[in-house]
Amino acid sequence: MQKPVRIIALPVALMLILLLSAGLVHGQVGPDALKYCEEFAFSTEEDFVTQGPEPSDGNPIISDGDLLGPNCEVCARNYDLLHDTFDVDQDLGLDAADVIDVENYLVAFSTELDSPHGTFTAGDLLVTNGAIIANVALTHLFQVGYKYDIGLDALHFVGDLGNIIAFLGEIQQIGRDFWVQNPGALSEMLIQYDIDIWFSTEGTLGPVDAPVFLDGDLLSARYGIIVAPNKDLLPPSVPAGIPYQGVDFGLDAVTGIRVGDDPQIHFSTEILYQNEPSFTDGDMLKYGDGVVAKNIDLIQCFEPMAGELGLDALSVNIPITRPCESRITRIAGVDVADIGLDGMAMTGTVGSPAILAPVPFGGWIDIQGSICPDVDRFRVLYRLAGSANPWTPIPVEAARGWEVKVDAFFPPGPDCLGTAGWSSDVSGWYNASDYRNLTYPVLGGCNTDLALTVWNSGAAVNGGDELYEVVLETETALGVFSDTVRLVQLDNTPPIAELDKQPGTCDVYSDDDMPLMVTARITDTHFYESQLCITGDGYGTHCYTLTTYYDDPGDNLIETGTKNWPAFVDLHPVDTHHLDPNPVECGYTVWLTAWERTLWCKFNFPNNQAYHYPGHRHDWDGWTFDYTPTP
Amino acid sequence: MRKLVVWIAVGLILVLITLIPPGLVTSQQPSLPAECEELAFSTEEDFLTYGPEPPDGNPIISDGDLLGPNCVVCARNLDLVGLFDVPADLGLDAADVIDVEGYLVAFSTELNSPNVGQFTAGDLLVTDGNIIPNVALTDPFGAGYDIGLDALHFVGAMDNILAFLDEAKQMTRDDWLASPGTLAQMLARYEVDIWFSTEETFKIVDVPVFLDGDLLSARDGVIVAGNNDLLPLSVPAGIPNRGVDFGLDAVTGNRAGDEGWIRFSTELLYEDELNFTDGDVLKYGNGVIRTNQSLVLCFEPKADFLGLDALHMALEERPTRLYVPVILKIVEEAFQ
């Protein structure tokens, strides 16, 4: 009897709704209500009925698509966010949110569902001013070749609030199609405005056995790097991160302060954890520090009938003003926070796929940083780590031909179409005022990522393979000051790879000898991986699995190359039958390539362009033998 | 001697391989491991198995993989979506293993197809190539837009389900979009139904027509089981009466469509006298029958809880009539 009742009841309900709809309006709390979310905003995982204060539109049902604030405030119904700007009547849920500017009704967010009109997907970043950033633009720097919408689960804008608002103002005029066709333009624009979008996705990217990033990692749209991997977000006792500890806990909501300090990241996960420290997927967690607010703390004011309603979007916006600090922020694109006490980029912070070992630096290393308004001039210095050696400046003199972008004389107005020379003096000092004018968008700067200097590390005074201290020195009206000393491990010596062969001897093999074990030796202070390939008689090339030194603890590869250097050791068997089931009699060549881990850097001074190549430099060796099929 | 035997064996294998026609391998119908008929599920998040290594040697289990009992990986996500020429893991949001031997699995993904316009995360996909767009499922409710697909279960005689899928294969996604009402008619004709839940609540002028926690019928356009029916009375489930929509993240049942056989998972956990997590298997109106930990334990993961996003269980009613004579005999003896 129950089912027929429902069958009758539903059409009746639908008819009633249709009859009533002419006189009803969708729940809206209006733009003024956003002020309640100026400091704190969130959304739940599911709908519920508030038993607490009635929302201003009189509807006690709180949707998981509504933006909620402290003290039971409904800051925006889903309809408020979507209808006027995106012409969407339906509730599409709310998967991520960042309240940027209450006065100008500026909220960045994503939905659970695609637009019914096909105008955006659930993976796109939407802004209440009508801007739509396609998902592929956010993930562009991570996705090589095959690009697709991988969802948007959490987002947070980082940078000067004025710059963020200016950026959102500019993209308001840019349609979604532009981002789809020019996904790389987003990171360029973020650099131009010196801001970033931190975000997480719904799905993990990359091959299942070697993910590029997890859906639990916090990502940077500007740099295409993992800002905070899942393992760092959660306390060390939580088995977070793949493959490090074993579980991807997801990243369902994220927020922080605008200056982008890791310790201020607050977030929620996709799954709960029942051991110590326990948390649910609705709790608000702090970077590396566990629960700071239980889910019930967020929702109890609504007096819901259940104590857990999930946490799908989170935005905390407490302005934290900090005194300006002139400092080195990145070395060869690596955040100084990701450089360990050994002077190397920490495990997993460099490379795609990530190199799961510390990574040293080499080549022409660009050093990034920030220079405060009170600084008159600055320079970067180095010396051998732990020594009392005098500091050596890192100049880039005019002869190097460093060109930066400036406004051209014509056309009038800001255009960044001109170029100008940029250099230090012979002692490495740069003019700080000029630097600020060249870099800060608010000052019309066209080079937001202009390096503090570029270090030819191969010519370092104590050798190109040593551990050095690097420091920023600034001169103000009050004197000369030094920033925190940073450690940088150099490696400017390429690897050596040699196959075991006897010059002048042509080894002859037959089917009985296949597969043939290749013996070789490799050396490099920071060895990464090697690969063997075989070719012959126009069969093409067959390459064996690329093997890092940490893939198999049982093989002969170690972090400095092969075991027992300079002895030759077994590497991997090869077989002519891998080229063809019936290989012909011919000469066949095996070659070995060995790579080091070093983050190899180049700098194009005329174009002011830095290049970073992790695990790039390599050596190779070939060996040819004669093969005769067994009759 | 041993080497000679090996070489003879290798030679024989090579000869056999060369004798196999080139097209045969690809035309062979793959099948799922038999265990997946009994139980199949997916987790909410990826994890590393410390239990038995999957046959492909990769210890990372994706939240897009279909898992079975005893640590079996029934299908990698790429096995499922690869049939649609998709080379990326798109997650697994719902699944119903229809025929193990015939490799017939109905499912939905977390993400839209990277092949523009091919399918969305709200569409029902079948490994035989069927794509039923979301709007066809919700058409009897008058939704008219893609509202997501969070759980699904086919109901009806197996032969009818297979026949339905066979005919449905003749329909392209565009055909369904042009005529979404055809689905309900076709389901009625084959006397089968698709039970499902959506990602979001469908409202008309702020009044919920159904919740994303309700179990729906694609054939009849009715709520088969409201969120308030699925969960025990002591749980404040259902809107507006009891106060909370707990969601419906995965569902399964028997093919006869008996409400009492519905098994499911929610989007939210609940902590009160009756506790459950959003990864536990719950029984219609009756709470937890299997914890999340018991599902994933065999993989020896580093966390006890990994969520539950898709669920299939072989739940056929036992032939109780066989026991009726026994019961009658007991009653008879009692009155003697």
Average pLDDT over residues B52-78: 95
Dump pLDDT digits (tens) for A22-38: 333 567 899 999 999 99
Read off the tokens for A245. Answer: 């500890």
Which residues of B25-140 form beta strands (DSSP E)?
Answer: 39-42, 47-48, 60-61, 66-67, 73-75, 94-99, 104-108, 124-126, 131-132
Residue A507: its pLDDT value, please?
87
Instruction: Find the residue in A nearest to B238 (Cα).
Output: A48
The stretch A342-353 carries a mean pLDDT of: 91
Question: Quick check: B240 and A60 CB within 8 A?
Answer: yes
A546-555, A587-596, B140-149, B311-320: range with lowest mean pLDDT: B311-320
Interface residue B88 vs chain A (CB under 8 A): yes
Integer angstrom CA distances of residue A304 from A355, A498, B206, B237, B328: 47, 70, 19, 11, 50
Report the C-alpha gap between A96 and A45 in whole angstroms.
Answer: 11
Q: Does residue B336 form part of some domain? A: no
List of chain A residues whose C-beta atoms are within 8 Å of the C-beta of residue B276? none
* Mutation for testing the B interface, residue in A14, A90, A575 having most B CBs under 10 Å: A90
Distance from C-alpha of A103 to C-alpha of A167, rounded to nearest angstrom = 17
Residue B209: list chain A partners with CB under 8 A: 10, 13-14, 17
**Confidence (pLDDT) at A19:** 41
The strand pairing partners of A489, in sequence order, are A467
C-beta atoms of A150 and B111 within 8 A: yes
Domain count, chain B: 1
Average pLDDT over residues B299-311: 96
> Do residue A208 and residue B62 have CB atoms under 8 angstroms apart?
yes
- Looking at the predicted structure, is the pLDDT value of residue A560 above 50? yes
| A contact residues 350-389, partner B, Cβ 8 Å cutoff | none
What single string gives the DSSP state of each residue in B33-51? -GGGGTEEEE-SS-EE--S
pLDDT value at residue A442: 59
What domain range includes position B208? 35-331
Tell whether A15 is within 8 A of chain B (Cβ).
Answer: no
pLDDT on residue B334: 46
Query: Shortest CB distance from B47 goes to which of A47, A59, A246?
Result: A246
Look at residue A27 in the predicted model and tell me its pLDDT.
Answer: 76
Task: Please tell me the distance from the alpha carbon of residue B7 to that of residue A511, in angstroms, as a whole number.
Answer: 11
Residue B30 belongs to some domain of the structure: no
Whole-number pLDDT of residue A319: 62
Instruction: Name the band, by pLDDT with cuts 50, 70 and 90, for residue A448.
Output: confident
Q: Is A504 exposed, middle or buried (0-12, 13-18, 19+ CB in 10 A)?
A: exposed
How far is it, in rounded angstroms, from Cα A457 to Cα A103?
Answer: 49
| Residue B27 pLDDT greater than 50, yes or no | no
* Of residues B25 and A351, more confidently modeled: A351
Q: What is the mean pLDDT of chain B?
A: 88
Distance CA A558, CA A110 (A): 46
User: Of A318-327, A333-342, B207-216, B302-311, which range is least confident?
Assistant: A318-327
A247/B302 CB distance under 8 A: yes
- A443 band by pLDDT with thresholds 50, 70 and 90: low
Would B5 be classed as within a structural domain?
A: no
8 Å CB contact of B271 and A49: no
Q: What is the pLDDT of residue B24?
A: 31
| Region(s) of chain A under CATH 2.60.40.2550 | 496-628
B91, B103, B137, B273 from B196: Cα distances, Å: 18, 21, 8, 29
CB B125, CB B84: distance < 8 Å: yes
Question: For residue A494, which of A340, A363, A339 has the smallest C-alpha distance?
Answer: A363
Whether B1 has a pLDDT exceeding 80, the answer reads no
Two structure tokens written together for A205:
């990217």
pLDDT for residue A407: 83
Around Cβ B19, how many Cβ atoms within 10 Å?
7
pLDDT in tens, A398-436: 999 999 998 877 776 667 888 999 999 999 999 999 999
- End-to-end CA, chain A: 83
What local confidence, expressed as pLDDT, does residue A321 receive?
52
Of B62, B122, B244, the CB nearest to A304: B244
Provide the 10 A C-beta neighbour count for residue B228. 23
What's the pLDDT band for B173 if we cut at 50, 70, 90? very high
**E strand or H helix that includes residue B234:** none
pLDDT reading at A7 higher than 80: no
Lowest mean pLDDT among A205-219, A552-566, B33-47, B121-135: A205-219
Residues 55-74 of B with CB under 8 A from A: 58-60, 62-65
Question: Apex CA A608: angle with CA A605 and CA A611, to 5°?
Answer: 90
**How far, CA to CA in Å, does A528 sit from each of A242, A347, A548, A556, A591?**
20, 12, 6, 13, 17
> What pLDDT is attached to residue A23?
34
Q: State residue A631's pLDDT score.
A: 81
Phi, psi for residue A429 in degrees, rounded to 5: -80, 135
* DSSP class per residue in A54-88: PPTTS--EEPTTSEE-STT-EEE-HHHHHHHHH--
Q: How far is CA B314 from CA A477, B35, B36, in A?
A: 79, 10, 9
CA distances from A561 to A224, A408, A618 (A): 30, 52, 12
pLDDT at A72: 87
Q: Is the pLDDT of residue A21 over 70?
A: no
* A282: pLDDT strictly greater than 70: yes
Mean pLDDT for A501-525 is: 92
User: In this structure, are strands B94-99 and B281-283 parallel, antiparallel, or unpaired?
Assistant: unpaired
Residue of B238, B147, B209 whose CA lies nearest to A15: B209
The residues pairing with A527 across neighbouring beta strands, listed in sequence order, are: A596
A572 Cα to chain B: minimum distance (Å): 19
From residue B228, give the alpha-carbon distance in Å to each of B87, B239, B250: 40, 8, 16
Encoding tokens for residue A486?
């940073």
Chain A neighbors of B60, CB-CB under 8 A: 208-209, 211, 242-243
Give all strands of the β-sheet with B287-290 in edge-to-edge order: B250-252, B263-265, B281-283, B287-290
In the predicted model, what is the mean pLDDT of chain A? 91
Are B206 and A581 in contact (CB < 8 Å)? no
Question: Is residue B315 within 8 Å of B254, Cβ to Cβ?
Answer: yes
Chain B interface includes A248 (CB < 8 A): yes
pLDDT over 90 percentage in chain B? 81
Q: What is the band of B35 on the pLDDT scale with cuts at 50, 70, 90? A: very high
Cβ separation of A271 and B306 shorter than 8 Å? yes
Give the integer Cα–Cα distance in Å for B113 and B111: 6
**CA dist., res. A40 & res. B68, Å (int):** 42
- Report pLDDT digits (tens) over A118-157: 999 999 999 999 999 999 999 999 986 778 999 999 999 9
Say what the pTM is.
0.67
The predicted structure's pLDDT at residue A257: 87
**Other CB atoms within 10 A of residue B15 CB:** 9
Spatial strand order in the sheet of B193-197 = B151-155, B193-197, B215-217, B223-225
Q: What is the ipTM of this complex?
A: 0.86
The pLDDT assigned to A325 comes to 84
Distances (CA, A) of A535 to A509, A538, A593: 15, 8, 14
Please write the tens of the pLDDT for every residue from A75-104: 999 999 999 999 999 999 999 999 999 999
Give the CATH number of domain A496-628; options: 1.20.1740.10, 2.60.40.2550, 2.30.110.10, 2.40.30.10: 2.60.40.2550
The one-letter amino acid code at A428 reads G
Give SS3 for B10. Answer: helix
pLDDT, tens digit, 9 for 90 and up, residues A350-374: 988 889 999 999 999 999 999 998 9
Element (H, E) at B114: none
CA angle B247, B254, B91 (to 5 degrees): 45
Interface list for B 301-320 with A (CB within 8 A): 301-307
Residues of chain B contacting A134 with CB distance shorter than 8 Å: none
Among A106, A102, A147, A148, smallest CA distance to A126 is for: A106
What pLDDT is stored for residue B306 in this prediction?
97
